[in-house]
Structure 1
Amino acid sequence: MFFQNKIYIRFTSFFMLFMFFFSVTPQATASSLFGDFTVKDEIKLGKEFDKMVHSRLPVVLDPQITDYVKDLVARVAKQMPPQPFPITAAVIQNNSMNAFAVPGGYIYIYTGLLLNLKHESELAAVIGHELAHVSLRHVARRMEKMQLVNIASMLGTLAGMMIGMSGGGNSASIGQALAMGSMAGAQSAYLSYTQENEREADHLGMNYLIKAGFNPTSMVDSFKAMKQRQWYVSNTNIPTYLSTHPGLDARIDYLNERFRRMPPEYFRRQNDDAKFYKIKTLIRARMTDPEVAIAHYNNIPENKRTCLDHLGQGIILSRMKKNVEAEAAFEQARQECPGETLILRELGRFYFTIGKMDKASPLLREAYMRDPQDAMTLFFIARVEGSRKNYKQAILTMRKVAEMVPKDQEIHYHLGRMLGESGNYFEAHVQLAYAALYGRTPKQATFHLKKAEGLAKTPEQKKELRKLQEIITPPPPDGADKK
């Protein structure tokens, strides 16, 4: 939703170290072929897996969060050798400290990882490690050896490995559902990373991390954070990283050994966490249990609270319907950081939710002037105009939001409502059909499709209708029986 919403021994030979660091590691290339599993197959499998993730898991669509993660992934991925596919990132709303990458260049970051790491550089270290798995084709090469017969069996096995082992939330049950049958569960265990895989990914990922300008110690710091977190969860809720990426103690040891051979200036690199802290604030305040989140901020001494802490309090209190206290926290945040765009946006959003449009509008417009690419700000500007029955401007603005975030249920729902209130019933049903489609309610989508079919008159409307029909009721696959 738019709101939400290993190594087990040390090297004992200098020659082995020399060969590892200076030999050419296996990278994915367009001509790679191990058995029958080609890079073309990787790309196809990755696309299908990504569709599955977006259709069955709570993928975060808030551009503030997703754009930040995509930019950080791109910064690290830029250090990789040329790949035969683009690197594509997404954020999954789940409290597990988890991240994983799959063949074809897709990487997924859980909100729990963002929330529980201390610095951006630690997140970059995890990203570097995962991208190294992709570049080294660790999963792909193991799948080749399994000789899975088709994409469907590969997809189920991959889901069992990457999602089914996840701790916490609903990912485990979803992963089990996606792993098609007990065979997939056994296969997914075979696919798990070996200690040698982890050693290779640690060292190659470290190279990416350093080239991207980060302090190399952040990789060890991220491992320590995960290890520490393990002691705060039950045995049935251990973060995925500790079950699919074993041997943290040994990995920390050999990375510390590598640090001794690095230039001292690498370790003088400082963290720049301004954007990272904003994202953590949004995730904590918007996507975690409000009672747990408010307790976090209440435990911070008043004289040590930042404007972001007050912002987080305001968001949580507004979720708890404590509007007087929420307003005070928001205004405190604004007073301490008067030009902070995120605070202006969230305060404007708050005033909208309590019906104070005259206060909401100028705050949202100021936020938009400071950041015209923030789709969330534009979303609420459109809704303010809609509440004032200025439908022409509201619809125009909401269409722009839909272009920026094309597959969000709430955007299409509100656009449909505005169109209906303005008298454009055909397009209203089209947008409501898209809303139902992205909200995973196919019956409702079909209902609005039928309504739109009865209203389509012009060639443009019929063309738009055909596009919607192809999405909701796609043609049968090649070779299927046709009546």
Structure 2
Amino acid sequence: MKKVITQGLVGLTIFLSSWVLLNQIDWIDLLEIDKATAKTEIKIGELYWDVFKSNEVENKDAFVNKTIDSLVVKICSRNKIDREHIKVHILNKEEVNAFALPNGHLIIYSGLILASDNPEELSGIIGHELAHIELNHVMRKLINEIGLSVLISMTTGNGSTEIISQTAKLLSSSAFDRDLEKEADLKAVDYLINSKIDTEPFANFLYKLYTKENELQEALSWVSTHPILKERATYILEYSASKKTTIPEMILAPQSWKELQEKLN
């Protein structure tokens, strides 16, 4: 009996020791999945941007780009986001939409800027998309829905133009799941608070889109791709109220905002 117990204890000790050792191994590094994903993200980001660049008109106006960049720079600098990694593209399109592509590409439609009543509303949406980029939501979505092996094959010349175009639409016309959207919303609130930007307009913008959903169905792409707008506006306000904030700063002169809108119109 004692021998059986001893053998059992030895077996348990070996099992526990093996379990501890296995958990100390960084399997991702061992299999170099992170490295492969990073290389793929760079290539796939360029492929997807080429799709949008060839099918849409990019706004090249110096004032428009400088003004939007000032908002991006403010959020990035106050939140230790690598501005050099973020590639902002403003496309002349009436749809109210913004979305992120792999490798830090941030697409903003002119329709979204025109639908914003003030730079604080727009900054909330920019913060939301930056959060998707910084939290690696973009690649996670693609890997979950397409698979890493398919993405890698696309970057090695084995993916057809049609496949690349169709998968690119996943990022511009379909939402992340609820948990990821909420995570990006709350991270955006943190970004705004750190940047001394008023968070209430961000919630107001979502609620405004919610109330106009039926009125402007065709133009409001951001409504269909970012569901539960009323719920999101509510928890953004609740989360903001729970945070310690300072007096917001003016982030853009009224005249500059007016000129931006006029140029896009």
What TM-score results when the alignment is normalised by the length of structure 1? 0.43
Q: Is the 8 A contact 2:141 2:176 kept in 1?
A: no
**Equivalent position of 1:253 in the other structure:** 234
Matches within 5 A, 1:243-282: 243-263=224-244, 265-266=246-247, 269-270=249-250, 272=252, 273-282=254-263
- Give the distance between the partners of 1:157 and 1:74, measured in 2 at CA: 32
- Give the distance between the partners of 1:50 and 1:212, measured in 2 at CA: 28
2:198 equivalent to 1:215: yes
**Equivalent position of 2:87 in the other structure:** 88
Q: Is the 8 A contact 2:96 2:220 kept in 1?
A: yes
* Offset of residue 78 of structure 1: 2.5
Greater relative contact order (CA < 8 Å, ≥ 6 in sequence): 2
**Alignment RMSD:** 2.8
**Equivalent position of 2:180 in the other structure:** 197
2:165 equivalent to 1:156: yes
Q: Is the 8 A contact 2:120 2:198 kept in 1?
A: yes
The letter of the residue matching 2:242 is: R
Secondary structure at the aligned position of 2:107 is classed as strand
- Give the distance between the partners of 2:33 and 2:199, measured in 1 at CA: 33
| Cα 1:34/1:271, change in 2 over 3 Å | same
Q: Is the 8 A contact 1:103 1:139 kept in 2?
A: yes
- Give the distance between the partners of 1:102 and 1:34, measured in 2 at CA: 20
* Contiguous gaps of at least 5 residues in structure 1: 1-30, 166-188, 285-483
Q: Is the 8 A contact 1:114 1:280 kept in 2?
A: yes
**Equivalent position of 1:99 in the other structure:** 98
Q: 2:221 aligns with which of 234, 240, 250?
A: 240
**Equivalent position of 2:118 in the other structure:** 119
* Contiguous gaps of at least 5 residues in structure 2: 1-29
- Give the distance between the partners of 1:47 and 1:100, measured in 2 at CA: 15
The letter of the residue matching 1:63 is: A
Q: Which moved more, 1:118-127 or 1:149-158?
A: 149-158
Secondary structure at the aligned position of 1:263 is classed as coil
**Equivalent position of 1:46 in the other structure:** 45
Larger Rg: 1
What TM-score results when the alignment is normalised by the length of structure 2? 0.75
* Offset of residue 51 of structure 1: 2.2
* Offset of residue 144 of structure 1: 2.0
Q: Is the 8 A contact 1:43 1:85 kept in 2?
A: no
* Residue deviations 1:209-248 (CA, integer Å, cap 9, x gap): 12222111121022123223323224xx152211121111
* Residue deviations 1:439-472 (CA, integer Å, cap 9, x gap): xxxxxxxxxxxxxxxxxxxxxxxxxxxxxxxxxx
Q: Which moved more, 1:79-88 or 1:116-125?
A: 79-88
**Equivalent position of 1:322 in the other structure:** none
Q: Is the 8 A contact 2:79 2:194 kept in 1?
A: no
Q: Is the 8 A contact 2:102 2:139 kept in 1?
A: yes
* Offset of residue 139 of structure 1: 2.1
User: Percent of aligned pairs with the same residue?
Assistant: 24
| Cα 1:212/1:231, change in 2 over 3 Å | same
Q: Is the 8 A contact 1:125 1:206 kept in 2?
A: yes
| Cα 1:94/1:264, change in 2 over 3 Å | same
